[in-house]
Every structure is written in C-alpha cells, then in structure tokens.
Amino acid sequence: MSNGKIAQTSQSTGIVSEITCPQAFVVIKKVPVFPTEPGQYCVSHTIRIYGCQPGCFR
C-alpha cells in the first residue's frame, strides 16, 4: 500500500479528519493507486469519507 504517498497527498490537500468523494478521487489521480487504498488509509487513520456512493472506497 502507498500509505506514505497517500498521507503526503492528503496533507497537501488539507484532508485531516474527513474527506469527500471528489477529494478522494483527487488523491487517487495524484497517487496512482487502487480506489480501495485511500479507503483503507482513511479507516486506519479515522478519516471519515462522506458524500459518496456506498462501497466506492472499500
């Protein structure tokens, strides 16, 4: 998993405690990873993903 790259991109875009679906897709485009990886990162760092269709980042 690309936790370091995801963390760096999240911090540079101002994501701290929650993230929207469009923001998550920005992370996926900046760091070429599978959609499940930002979801796993958010779960492990208690970052809430909202405003998105269920199961998109699981």
Question: Kind and range of the H or E element at 47?
Answer: none
Average pLDDT, the chain: 77
37-46 long-range contacts, Cβ below 8 Å, gap at least 24? 37/1, 37/2, 37/6, 38/6, 40/1, 41/1, 41/3, 41/6, 41/7, 41/10, 45/7, 46/17
What are 51's two structure tokens?
């405003």
The more confidently predicted of residues 31 and 2 is: 31
pLDDT, one tens digit per residue, over 26-50 is 777 877 778 788 788 888 888 888 8
* Residue ranges covered by each domain of the chain: 3-50
* Residue type for position 29: K
Above 70 in pLDDT, residue 58? Answer: no
Model confidence pTM above 0.85: no
pLDDT at 48: 84
